[in-house]
Structure 1
Amino acid sequence: METATDTTTRTFIQVSEVWVPQGDSLKLAAGDYGDLALFEEASRQETFARGEGLPGKAWAEARPVVLKDLDGSYFKRADAARAAGLTSAVAVPVFDGKALKAVLVVICSDDDTRTGAIEVWSEKDGLLMLDDGYYGAAKHFEWVSQHTHFPRGQGLPGGVWAAETPMLLRDLGSGYRFIRADSAGKAGLTTGLGVPIPVPGGRTYVLTLLSARGTPIARRFELWDARAARVGKAHDAVLVDGICAREGALWDPDNAGNEPQVTAWQGPIGRVLGTGAPVVETETHPAGYASMVALPIHKDGELAHIVAWYC
């Protein structure tokens, strides 16, 4: 079985970045670039005006944006990305009401074996339709997804839409709750994470990350509930679900009330609580994970949930 410190398995996502607004532009706050030193150097010299490049587009249009081909596009770092073998990216804006807290950007490379999915679903005429997605080598699953829609409450995207909370699904290839189970099983997809992405104006967006065993999105997932009514006090969060390749389930629903709990500024999850912005960290987890990403979800004026994944 794969261990937390196993670095031989390639992850689906190659680069993760957090861009934060400073004045009228976005500047890099943190990033995980692995061994892509030249691309990291190019990124640290870059800024984005509203509407400029991929982060700026997600900011200006107030929605998650998928860019499946960086080469020859509006991606400002296209030359550096090509040299690093990076091909596709997704930008996820984090809004607290109308205020932009940050833009999380994840960047992937493409080959004949890299399998997984990063999808953006949006509501149209009472159904969730695929806005766009990146699937790597899972071409048949991509075709099925393009021809699938979800009513509220159905499947992973529809379940997230109905509950307005992040959700984890296991065993995608055999799970009756996953509508695309047959094609997911054939593609080797095993774990699904669905995240609501609140934006100004109230339009519904759901981000789904579907992980395969050979090239996982991450090796560990965590869902934290930060709602004051759930936790008991503001500026705290409790772990309500999680799974990892080594440890299996990280939370036992029969032991509610005994979940791990953090407070503001306590570790990386606490830093998300304190700032309300995403966190990308490298080489900080005691279990030996090389990096982690924590994505906050704001709702009704409070930080409601935090989704974290570790590689």
Structure 2
Amino acid sequence: MDVAIDTPAKTFIEVTEVWVPDGDRLVLAEGDYGALGAFEAASRRESFARGEGLPGKAWAEARPVVLKGFDGSYFKRTEAATAAGLTAAVAIPVFAGSVLKAVLVTLCGDDDSRTGAIEVWREQDGLLMLDDGYYGAAKHFEWVSQHTHFPRGQGLPGGVWAAKTPILMRDLGSGYRFIRADSAAKAGLTTGLGLPVPVPGGKTYVLTLLSAKGTPIARRFELWDARAARNGTANEARLIDGICAREGALWDPDNAGNERTVAAWQGAIGRVLGTGVPLVQGGKPGLAAGYDSMVALPIHQGGELAHIVAWYL
């Protein structure tokens, strides 16, 4: 029997949405809005043309976009967002080759205690430089990040760049592999998820989600390898790494019998495997381990589904 987890009063991300193409516009497929019913209602009335609003900008420019202030910007739901206490957003386009599958949008609030990081790194002159990021109250860590760059293979962003796969990193404040460990420890950041964001045109983008215990991005992370399905050997995804605040490691590389797989359309991960489109669930029974919400984000390589990353609160 699954035991419900005590969800913290504040999370770093407050809203997550999936916008999908419908003709020449993006429409809301699903979203997790928590108690922000008025903002949800405003969102369900909305749609976006290419280049319009935050989802439309990520679509038109074929890149992840960070927006750290809504007033006077191209953001279309500013009044509803302000009333809900939302202050920043990140849009992540999901492309399969040149075809847009969806845009995943996360929205955050801001106060003196909300700490975490959503970062977008972009390759420039052979190095990964910070394109933009949202850090909440972690101002010193933000400054350090703005003055840090990564060669291929170095740190979490550089490791993702070199491997072209998502990477889950533990103990950010003490791990020698995390280049910004000292400032991460001071900010209370503990777990990092890095993933490639493939886009048309061959430009390199890496997204990193850095979670703190007090205001976590997630309590559980999972990495699934879907390349077996792409290669035609099996229509399934295999869990290759994972960590849970309650359960610890979810995967044991030394125990082949511990391998976990899901087939297409089997559960939430299987749905993403079948559609190639992100999934967001919130406030529904049946989520893994009694969590309240989950996000599953597919990563396409060479036009085919290669990985699925999932996080749960």
TM bin, normalised by shorter chain, reads over 0.9
Query: Is 1:11 aligned to residue 8 of structure 2?
Result: no
The 2-side partners of 1:278 and 1:221 are apart by: 15
Residues 132-183 of structure 1: CA deviation (Å, up to 9, x unaligned): 0000000000000000000000000000000000000000000000000000
Tell me which residue corresponds to 1:30. 30
Match of 1:307 in 2: 309
Structure 2 equivalent of residue 184 of structure 1: 184
Structure 2 CA distance for aligned equivalents of residues 230 and 59 of structure 1 = 25
Q: Which moved more, 1:160-169 or 1:234-243?
A: 234-243
2:280·2:293 contact (CA, 8 Å) conserved in 1? yes
Amino-acid identity (%): 80
Deviates more, 1:251-260 or 1:134-143: 251-260
Unaligned runs of 5+ in 1: none
Between 18-27 and 6-15, the greater mean CA deviation after superposition:
6-15
SS in 1 for 2:19: strand
The residue type paired with residue 290 of structure 1 is D
Deviations 1:1-40, CA, capped at 9 Å, x for gaps:
xx85212342100000000000000000000000000000
8 Å CA contact 2:94–2:100 kept in 1: the answer is yes
> 8 Å contact 2:8–2:214 — kept in the other structure?
no
1:47 matched residue in structure 2: 47
Q: 1:301 to 1:41 in 2, by over 3 A?
A: same
Question: What is residue 295 of structure 2 aligned with on the other side?
Answer: 293
1:254 aligns with 2:276: no
Q: Which stretch shifts more, 252-261 or 104-113?
A: 252-261
Map residues 67-86 of structure 1 onto 2, 5 A cutoff. Answer: 67-86=67-86
What is the distance in 2 between the residues matched to 1:54 and 1:92? 10
CA RMSD of aligned residues (A): 1.4
- The residue type equivalent to 1:12 in the other structure is F
SS at 1:144 equivalent: helix
* Number of aligned residues: 309
Contact 1:225 1:231 in 2 (8 A): no
Structure 1 residue identity aligned to 2:298? P
| Distance in 2 separating the partners of 1:20 and 1:232 | 27
Q: TM-score under structure 2 normalisation?
A: 0.96
Given the alignment of the two structures, is residue 119 of structure 1 paired with residue 119 of structure 2, yes or no?
yes
For residues 4 and 160 of structure 2, what CA distance do their matches in structure 1 show?
28
Q: What is the match of residue 95 of structure 1?
A: 95
TM-score, structure 1 as length reference: 0.97
Contact 1:118–1:207 (CA<8 Å) still a contact in 2? Answer: yes
Moved more, 251-260 or 219-228: 251-260
Shifted more, 253-262 versus 68-77: the winner is 253-262
The alpha-carbon deviation at position 71 of structure 1 amounts to 2.4
Runs (4+) off by over 4 Å: 229-232
Name 1:265's counterpart in structure 2.
265
Distance of 2:255 and 2:303 partners within structure 1: 30
Change (3 A) 1:100 1:232: closer
**For structure 2, which runs of at least 5 residues remain unmatched after alignment?**
none
Distance in 1 (CA, whole Å) between partners of 2:9 and 2:79 is 27
Q: Distance in 2 between matches of 1:229 and 1:103?
A: 23
Match of 1:89, SS? strand
Is residue 61 of structure 1 aligned with residue 58 of structure 2?
Answer: no
> Which region of structure 1 is more displaced relative to structure 2, 149-158 or 226-235?
226-235
Q: Which letter does structure 1 place at the counterpart of 2:188?
A: G
Gap change, CA 1:224 and 1:286, over 3 Å in 2: closer
Match of 2:21 in 1: 21
Are the counterparts in 2 of residues 123 and 203 from structure 1 also a CA contact under 8 Å?
A: yes
Q: 1:26-70: CA deviations, max 9, x gaps? A: 000000000000000000000000000000000000000000112
CA distance in 2, matches of 1:183, 1:226: 35
User: Are the counterparts in 2 of residues 4 and 245 from structure 1 also a CA contact under 8 Å?
Assistant: no
CA contact (8 A) 1:4 1:246 kept: no
Cα distance in 2 for residues equivalent to 1:41 and 1:163: 41
**C-alpha distance in 2 between matches for 1:281 and 1:305:** 19
Q: In the aligned structure 2, how far is the partner of 1:230 from the partner of 1:214?
A: 39
TM alignment of 1:199-278, pairs within 5 A: 199-228=199-228, 233-256=233-256, 258-278=258-278
Given that 2:87 and 2:110 are in contact with CA atoms closer than 8 Å, whether structure 1 keeps it comes out as yes
